[in-house]
Structure 1
C-alpha cells in the first residue's frame, strides 16, 4: 500500500490567513459548518470577521457578538509554537485527507508529532475503559497487524482499549484524538503515553484551544475526529451506553466501515459490540479481516480533495443583504424540526444565496441549530 506523498494534497495558508482563520473559528457562534459557509459566502476569513456584528444584529441578536481578538490568536499561535505544535487548515497538505470529507470537519487542527502520519490511511480503534485481559490482547494484535500493513491507528487516549491500541502501534504510527487542548490530556495517567506518541512515529490532534480542560460534552467531538480520520472503526468491548458506540454511529454516518469483535453474551462489556453485529457491523475474529476489508479503500487517490470541499479563500464581492420580507419568510418557514436547506429554498422560492445569507444571520445571532447531514432548525424568540 502506498502511504507516501501522493496523499498530500492542498494549498498552504499564508500566516495572515492562518491568524484570520483562528480568529474566526474562536469567535462566538462560529462552528465548523458556519465557518465554511462564512468563507464561501464572503470569500475570506477577514471579510467574514468584518461582517459578524452586522450578521448577528440582522439575525435578531440583542447583544454584541464576541469576535476573537488578533492578539489572542497570535498568543495561541505562539503557545502552539512553544509547545512544539502547529495549526493545520482543512485545505492544507498535512490535513488528514479522510477527515476533510466529513460534514462539519474542523477548519483548523492543532497537531503535534510526526506529520507524515496525518496523511496515511487510518483505522480507528475504540472500546471499553475497563477492558478485559483478552480484549486488551486482541486489540494489541489488531493494532500491530494493521500498523505493519501501513495503516495509522487512531484512538482517543483513554484507558483500556484505547491505550492498548496506541501502545501496540507506537512503532508504526498512531494518532491520539484529544477532547481538550493538546496541553490538557485526559486521563492524566496517560501523559507518559502521549509523550511517547508524539516523540516517536505518532501524532496528537485536537480542535480545541490550548488550555481547554475537556468536559463531558467534548468527548463526542473527539469521537467524531476518530471516525472522520479513519477509513473504518473497530469496536472491542463496548457496553450498551458508551462513547465507543457514538464513534461507531458517527463512522456509519460518514460512510466508514464499522467492525465489531464478538464477545460473551454474559459480559456486559460486550453487549454493545454484539449489538453492532446484529445491526450489520462487520465481524472481526482475526486482524486480517480488517486489512482485507480496508484494502479497496486505501487507494492513495481516494481522498484527493475536490475543488469545492475545503473553504478556499478567494476574492469575492459582498452580496446585497436580504430584505426584511425575505428574512421573515425564512424565519416563518423554519421551526424546531430539522429540515434540509434545499427544502427551504423550494418552500420559499428565494434564491439560494439569500437563503444561505439569512441562515448565517440566524446562526450568528445564536438562533440557528445545525444538525448532522446539513439539516437546520431554529430557536424561536420569546
Structure 2
C-alpha cells in the first residue's frame, strides 16, 4: 500500500536542522510541516525562527544512543512511509529496537485496559495468527488488550508506541514487557527524552498507532475510550477498521458494537482480517465457539442462566432457584475448567 522508490538519506545539515526545528517550543507536527513548506527547508526555518539549541539535541541523542536507540527524522530513508504520508506525521520518532519492523505490513490491536479474560485471550490468538502470517503487531502498551497483543507478538514482531519518552516506564505493570519489546521488538515515541506520559499525549500517540498500520483491530471498546479515538483516526487516515463484536449488555462492547453499526468490519476470526488484506487464510478457532453439550441438573440451570455479559451471583441464585452454596460450588468448578470469569461487584460470565 505504501511501497515506492527508496527515499534518499537527508543531507546531514538539513537533518540536524529538522531535529532542532521539531524540538522548538510551540512547533508541533502540523506547524513543523507548514514551516518546511513555507521556508523550503528546516535550515531556512531555523535561521528565521531560531530553533532548539544544538547542545540539547546532542544531549538527547547521547542519552537515546546509550539506551540502544536512534532518531528517525521525517525525510530519513528509515522513516516509516505509512506515517510519512500523514499531514500530521511526527517530525521525529525516538526508536529503540528493531527498526526493520517498520518496513513490514503492520496491523494495530487496541482495546480495553480493564479487559475480560476472553478479550485478552482473543487478542493473544489474533496476534499470534497474524504474526505467523508475517504481520507486525502495533499497539500502545496499555494494560489489558494492548499488553496481551504485544506479549503474543514478541516472537514474530511487535511495535509499542509510547505516550511519554522512550525512557519512561508506563504503565508500571508493563515494565517487564516494555523491556522485552526494546530487546525483541521496537519502542517508538514522538515525545522528547524524559517526557512523562501526560493525558493529552495519549490521543497523539493513538494517531501514530493507527498511522503505522494498514488497519486497526478493536477488541472491547467502551462508549468513550481511547480505542474509539484510535479507530476514528484510522478511518480518517484511510485505514481499515476491524471490530470484534460483543454482548450488548457488556459495557466494554458498547463502543465496539457502535463501530460495527457504523460500517466497521466484523471480526469472527483471523480469516476475516486476512481476507481483507488479500492474504492467504489459515486454520483458526472461530470467535463464536460451538455450543456445549446440554448439562442436566443444577449445573445445567446455572449454565443456561450464564452468558458473555456479567451477571450478579445473587441474581443467579434467584433465577435458578438453587441454594447459594450450590451455585458457589458450580461456579468454582466452571472457573477451574477455564470456562468462567469473575468481575467486580460479585458478577460472573462465561468465557
Q: After superposition, give the CA deviation of every residue in 1:86-123 in whole Å (9 maximum; x if it has no partner).
A: 01122222222211111210121110101110111100
Higher RCO by CA contacts (8 Å cutoff, separation 6 or greater):
1
Q: 2:258 aligns with which of 275, 285, 289?
A: 275
CA distance in 2, matches of 1:81, 1:7: 30
The size of the alignment, in residue pairs, is 279
For 1:238 and 1:294, locate their aligned partners in 2 and report how far apart those are by CA, in whole Å: 23
Q: How does 1:360-379 map to 2 (within 5 A)?
A: none
Which structure has the greater CA radius of gyration? Answer: 2
Candidates 191, 197, 222, aligned match of 1:214: 197
Q: 1:34 aligns with which of 31, 35, 48?
A: 31
1-structure distance, mates of 2:90, 2:97: 19
Aligned equivalent of 1:137: 121
State the partner residue of 2:7: 10
**CA offset digits 1:119-169 (Å, max 9, x no partner):** 111001100001111101111111011111111100000000000000110
| Structure 2 residue aligned with 1:231 | 214
Matched, 1:167 2:151: yes
Distance in 2 (alpha carbons) for counterparts of 1:187 and 1:291: 31
**In 1, distance between residues paired with 2:71 and 2:156?**
23
Given the alignment of the two structures, is residue 286 of structure 1 paired with residue 269 of structure 2, yes or no? yes
CA contact (8 A) 1:27 1:68 kept: yes
SS in 1 for 2:253: helix
Conservation of the 8 A alpha-carbon contact between 1:9 and 1:92: no
User: Which string of whole-angstrom CA distances, capped at 9 and with x for unpartnered residues, describes residues 308-336 of structure 1?
Assistant: xxxxxxxxxxxxxxxxxxxxxxxxxxxxx
Q: How big is the alpha-carbon RMSD for the aligned residues of Structure 1 and Structure 2?
A: 1.8
Give the Cα separation in 2 of the matches to 1:13 and 1:83: 24
Offset at 1:79? 1.2
Q: Structure 1 runs of 4+ off > 6 angstroms?
A: none
TM-score (norm 2): 0.76
1:81-230 pair list within 5 angstroms: 81-200=65-184, 202-230=185-213
- Structure 1 residue aligned with 2:225: 242
TM-score, normalised relative to structure 1: 0.70
Q: Give, in whole Å, the separation in 2 of the partners of 1:198 and 1:266.
A: 39
Match of 1:23 in 2: 20
What's the CA shift for 1:23? 0.9
Per-residue CA distance 1:341-364 (angstroms, 9 max, x = gap): xxxxxxxxxxxxxxxxxxxxxxxx
Q: For structure 1, list consecutive stretches of 5 or more residues without a partner in the other structure.
A: 54-66, 297-382
Which residue of structure 2 aligns with residue 295 of structure 1?
A: 278
Where 1:86 maps in the other structure, the secondary structure is strand
